[in-house]
Structure 1
Amino acid sequence: MAYQEPSYVAVAQRKQAELAAAIPSEWRLPAYIVPEGMLSISESITVGPKSYQRVEVMDIPRTCGLLTLKELEITEKYDVRGLVAEIAQSRLKAEDVVRGFCKRASIAQQLTRCLTEPLFDRALQRARELDDHLQRTGTPIGPLHGLPVSVKDTFNIKGVDSSIGLSALAFKPAKANAPLVDLLESLGAVVIAKTNVPQTLATLDSCNHLFGRTLNPLNRKWTAGGSTGGEGALIAMRGSMVGFGTDIGGSIRVPAMCQGIYGFKPSNGRVPYGGQQSGQIEGKGRIGLQAVAGPLARSVADINAVMAEIVPRAELFGEDCIPGSWSSQSIPLALAPPHNFTIGVLKTDGLVTPLPPIIRILNEVANSLRRTPGVEVIDIPLPPVLPKCQALAGRLMGIDDGSHMLDLIESMGEDLIPWLQGRMKRGKDLTVGQLATLQAQRAEIEKEMMKMWTLSSQASSVARLVDAIICPVAPHPVPELDRYNAVGYTSTFVLLDYPAGTVPVRSFTESDLEIGRAMDAPVLGSWDKANRQLWDEKTVDRRVYLGSPLSVQVVTPKQHDYQLFQAMEIVDRAVQGHGGPTSAKL
């Protein structure tokens, strides 16, 4: 019997051709500039990480000659508020700004395969409309007038595919915008592209058969993270000012960690989440574990700038949002803070022991905070229920039998990507009774975890004594492709609905290697054993981590999203060496 090519192959070829055609010829890199093997779609999925030479492409946008000096200045000089001010005051045209970022996004795509839907033509048309409006009326459309932004492929945009890396969903354009897209456009922002995700949206490495694997621009040997990995690569390469992703197990915070940028997972209801393609049965998030949407950016200030505009308006756009407010002011560097800001240090989840460089970076940040006037640092004892969170979050993510997603994959003859093989299979729907039991367990854990913030043995206390905590984003450094291990440090805070963010600290150095020194702490279980393999010199060359970004996670109590921004700012200032006194008390 003659071999018949799977249906997805022709669809992927057609989609790749469409994507390539969206990049004008004058924006295309000469072949000699693109490192060999970077964009081999099939190899990027099937060949192991040992096949890659270490390649970093962050400087290519500056050196390739495609961007003019003005475009380099536009894409590198400003933060969000600075860029918006330049446009609003007619010192820069929105069209020039959007063109500069579209060109840079196209360069990022050619080097990392971070995009799924370049929206350059419509973005430039929208920018011209914004310029015309400003010239006619003297007033901008909104507070983010002309700001180039990008969104994860899951978010629907009218007339554009939301294929989420599945050939079965390709060439089926959305009929309406996601509420977040409508909100961003009402603020004057311009969506310039949609970005790549993993097959099933359920891995922490953004790889699929339709668009290939998104590569980390810092080093293609490291994972770019997932499931918002394309967004992480695009933001890191300055192809967009701010990106928007989703997070159920760490999908905003993990790509931020992997690419040394900032990620912000808000509480449920702060940012419109609806209007997305998930490949899941409709309404699943309402009864299981509910993902949230949030920004990735290159600074805490940029996160603040967009959240300050989104949160107060979210309830008008998203049926899943609640009323909210957001102060427009940053933390003043006062001479004498009236209260201490208390930050707790949580060193482990009790399930997976962090590897030595992760403990080291956490201690460094804690010491920097101790030297910050107005900040008190305390150690947080391991809450007894914390080790239960990862398994419960996982069960609530998988309450159905998985057939909806697997049917889509199998209908086009797609194989599961290597990481999913052996990990994903059809299961069995939970009954209402089983689901109720899980949610009852969740409520009990939520009740017990309240004690962490009051340092009290009682779940109901009159005072919150801890304003924020710092802990690892992951128990390991940025790993090689397909080797990301424990998700518990991020999924836990979705289960608890605590806002949580990623703050980059510094790069991994020679002193972090500890060559020849093995971990002597007892192995806690299978997840911990797997984590040790990322440090065991028999299973990994630790030097692969050299130069990779090291980050910490910052967490605040449920619905304290503005306070998370404050805490991230305090941590960021402390580790960057300009801590200064703080005057905020949550």
Structure 2
Amino acid sequence: MLGESKYAPNWEARCAAKADQLEASLPKEWLMPASVIESFKLKEPLWKNKNNLIELDIPRRSGILSDKEYAIIQTDTPTLLKKLASGEFTALETTVAFCKTATVAQQMINCLTETFFDQALERARELDRMCEKGCLAGPLHGLPISLKDTFLLEGIGATLGMVFLLDNIATENSALVDLLLDQGAIHYVKTNVPQTMLSADSHNLIFGRTLNPQNTMLGAGGSSGGEGALVAFRGSPLGVGTDLGGSIRIPAFVNGCYGFKGTASRVPYGKQQIFMNPGLKFMSPVAGPIANDLDTLKIFSRIVSDARPFRYDYSAINIPWRVLSTDQNRRLRLGVVSEDQKYPLHPSTKKVLADAYARLEAAGHILIRLTPEECRIAEISEVMCNYPVLDKSVDRIVELEPAVPGRERLMSEFLAVKKDYIKPENLVNLTPIELWGYLNTMGDALLEDWRKLWVKYNLDACVGPPAQGCAIEHDLFGMVPYTCFLNLLNYPACVIPFSKVEYIPDATYEVKEGQAGPPWNAKALEGTAHTFQVFTPSYQDEECLEISGIIDKCLNGHVQ
């Protein structure tokens, strides 16, 4: 009919109702009154102004947490697990502490999509009764773990921030949810994601925009942006996200956290809510941890691997976690990923990387600078970005609602960057199955070339930037070439926070024709956490985390 909206009927009212449902689920006694929020003297609106909520220590000043609850959320996760096992902290008081902090976080940074506090508290009581009898449910006994919205929990919504899934209620648990429960974990919240899950800005029309707690005028990353923001805010001791192009690593590093994407299928991924055609498996997404320290990433990875994940998910690989006898003082041979001229690095990124490389070399590590022609970042990114073209169901779904600005930014960058590798006629003339085969053939060749690099230089690991910059102003992140290439290669990768962005008064940054990159607002980014990416070949997840520990010690002084 002429003039009829192309969007889903009543989409605005239905989105508002879902958002109201989330707000109503927050216990009133855990909400900060307006007078307390006013005492923080924040610059409004938050998303357009620089506010460091971490430095303001909002959880402590909220008036919601007791002194012991505040001490609980400030305890590192490895120590927290020991205190839970010994009974020094009960599961109930620990869960209450993180439920309260998550509620405070929601008021400040809008990071949640679903809460199920009552179920979490009841499970905590059950675990405490076990502990009183001298039993533990497992190595994660009593630990609250937050989940990205993609994970299914029976009876809980799973919308992915998309209108067409507004009424979706899970009828079963995701495989990893069941595994973590069997290890003693407590699930209590799910967290926000971008519209379509394909951008690095966690903003959608149902739940709105998630803010970065270290600088509210910057994005929280995506697609596990709610997880990264909640963990940084200390509202979760361990968050679980997913990664198909950088969606664990980007939210981890932009929020100043640690994140790990392992080799596909080492962590069970089954029974996730997705919006793409499940039968079109271009490459395997990965579930993995976001935390405030590297040891927590190791604990998660070891416990999941040792829990025989194939019992929960047919696609999970049965590889027990290997305990390595790594010499923490040994010299490493590290390949250095170079800047790709199609995706220029911010001046602050170049400075932080130069400082990191200098520290590593001063510690005796051997750095081998790989050329852009060896790294093939732009070529891999071009292959990666053309896989979604094969799924025509995506077009029908996204047409049901208006696009948010971050999604439009991603598309504009993709169209702007110069294409040199895929022949245009192949995108038009090949059938979908032929195009799929063509892209897979290109991917196989890239995998073989990278295999040769590991052998040629006898590398222990590679290091480099996870992005062109650090956290970026809302709606401007764009493409993710420095993370997505590792998804095509299926390499485990870890991000480590290192240093802060410094204002460089005389530096300039320009994105020329045929290039793509986020704008560089030096003043806005000043003081923001920067980071470093470490990766190894497939199935060397243990080596990746061990080497990351050596590098973390060198750069940050953290002893693993």
Tell me the equivalent position of 1:583: none
Tell me the equivalent position of 1:431: 432
Q: CA deviation at 1:21?
A: 1.9
Cα offsets for 1:466-496 (capped at 9, x unmatched): 0111110111232111111331101100011
Preserved CA contact (<8 Å) 2:323 2:542: no
Q: CA deviation at 1:195?
A: 0.4
Q: CA deviation at 1:410?
A: 4.2
Preserved CA contact (<8 Å) 1:160 1:173: yes
Q: How far apart are the structure 2 equivalents of 1:332 and 1:84?
A: 26
Amino acid at match of 1:478: A
Preserved CA contact (<8 Å) 1:352 1:524: no
Residues 216-231 of structure 1 aligned to structure 2 (within 5 Å): 216-231=212-227
Q: CA deviation at 1:525?
A: 5.4
Amino acid at match of 2:464: C
Amino acid at match of 1:364: D
1:454 aligns to 2:455 (yes or no) = yes
Tell me the equivalent position of 1:469: 462
Question: Which residue of 83, 86, 97 maps to 1:86?
Answer: 83
Q: CA deviation at 1:579?
A: 7.0
Q: How far apart are the structure 1 equivalents of 2:360 and 2:265?
A: 31
Tell me the equivalent position of 1:185: 181
Tell me the equivalent position of 1:460: none
User: Which piece of structure 1 moves more, 15-24 or 212-221?
Assistant: 15-24
Tell me the equivalent position of 1:381: 371
Tell me the equivalent position of 1:289: 283
Amino acid at match of 2:531: S
Q: How far apart are the structure 2 equivalents of 1:314 and 1:330?
A: 24
Preserved CA contact (<8 Å) 2:410 2:477: no
Q: How far apart are the structure 1 equivalents of 2:116 and 2:293?
A: 25
Preserved CA contact (<8 Å) 1:39 1:110: no
Q: CA deviation at 1:2?
A: 12
Q: How far apart are the structure 2 equivalents of 1:331 and 1:141?
A: 31
State TM-score, norm by structure 1.
0.86
Cα offsets for 1:27-75 (capped at 9, x unmatched): 00112444799999xx99xxxx7xx222222211111111100000111
Preserved CA contact (<8 Å) 2:210 2:220: yes
Tell me the equivalent position of 2:546: 566
Change in Cα spacing, 1:294 to 1:430, as seen in structure 2 (3 Å) is farther
1:415 aligns to 2:395 (yes or no) = no
Q: How far apart are the structure 1 equivalents of 2:225 and 2:142?
A: 25
Aligned partner of residue 498 in structure 2, secondary structure: strand
Q: How far apart are the structure 1 equivalents of 2:317 and 2:145?
A: 24
Tell me the equivalent position of 1:487: 480
Q: CA deviation at 1:172?
A: 2.3
Preserved CA contact (<8 Å) 1:80 1:305: no
Change in Cα spacing, 1:437 to 1:165, as seen in structure 2 (3 Å) is same
Tell me the equivalent position of 2:73: 75
Amino acid at match of 1:204: A
Tell me the equivalent position of 1:144: 140
Tell me the equivalent position of 2:344: 353
Preserved CA contact (<8 Å) 2:146 2:240: yes
Amino acid at match of 1:27: W
Change in Cα spacing, 1:102 to 1:330, as seen in structure 2 (3 Å) is farther
Q: How far apart are the structure 2 equivalents of 1:471 and 1:6?
A: 46
Q: How far apart are the structure 2 equivalents of 1:430 and 1:80?
A: 50
1:304 aligns to 2:298 (yes or no) = yes
Unaligned stretches of 5+ residues in structure 1: 457-464, 536-540, 581-586
Amino acid at match of 1:438: L
Amino acid at match of 1:449: W
Q: CA deviation at 1:362?
A: 1.3
Cα offsets for 1:259-286 (capped at 9, x unmatched): 01011111111111121111111222x2
Q: How many residues align?
A: 537
Cα offsets for 1:360-399 (capped at 9, x unmatched): 21121112222335x3333223344443100001112332
Preserved CA contact (<8 Å) 1:365 1:571: no
Cα offsets for 1:143-170 (capped at 9, x unmatched): 1000110111011111111111123212
Residues 83-162 of structure 1 aligned to structure 2 (within 5 Å): 83-136=80-133, 138-162=134-158
Q: How far apart are the structure 2 equivalents of 1:105 and 1:325?
A: 33
Q: CA deviation at 1:26?
A: 0.8
Question: Which residue of 554, 557, 566 maps to 2:534?
Answer: 554
What percent of counterpart residues are identical?
Answer: 33
Change in Cα spacing, 1:210 to 1:330, as seen in structure 2 (3 Å) is farther
Preserved CA contact (<8 Å) 2:377 2:481: no
Q: CA deviation at 1:422?
A: 7.9
Residues 251-290 of structure 1 aligned to structure 2 (within 5 Å): 251-284=247-280, 286=281, 288-290=282-284
Preserved CA contact (<8 Å) 2:409 2:478: no
Tell me the equivalent position of 2:60: 62
Change in Cα spacing, 1:470 to 1:21, as seen in structure 2 (3 Å) is same
Cα offsets for 1:275-312 (capped at 9, x unmatched): 1111111222x2x1322111111110110111110023
Q: How far apart are the structure 2 equivalents of 1:193 and 1:264?
A: 21
1:442 aligns to 2:443 (yes or no) = yes
Change in Cα spacing, 1:37 to 1:168, as seen in structure 2 (3 Å) is farther
Aligned partner of residue 455 in structure 1, secondary structure: helix
Q: How far apart are the structure 2 equivalents of 1:273 and 1:366?
A: 35
Change in Cα spacing, 1:275 to 1:314, as seen in structure 2 (3 Å) is same
Change in Cα spacing, 1:310 to 1:343, as seen in structure 2 (3 Å) is same
Change in Cα spacing, 1:88 to 1:332, as seen in structure 2 (3 Å) is farther
Question: Which residue of 377, 381, 397 maps to 2:388?
Answer: 397
Aligned partner of residue 372 in structure 2, secondary structure: coil
RMSD of Structure 2 on Structure 1 (CA): 2.7
Tell me the equivalent position of 2:418: none
Q: How far apart are the structure 1 equivalents of 2:340 and 2:28?
A: 50
Cα offsets for 1:153-205 (capped at 9, x unmatched): 01111111111112321232111100010011010011111000011111110
Cα offsets for 1:294-335 (capped at 9, x unmatched): 11111101101111100232222222211222245785656x
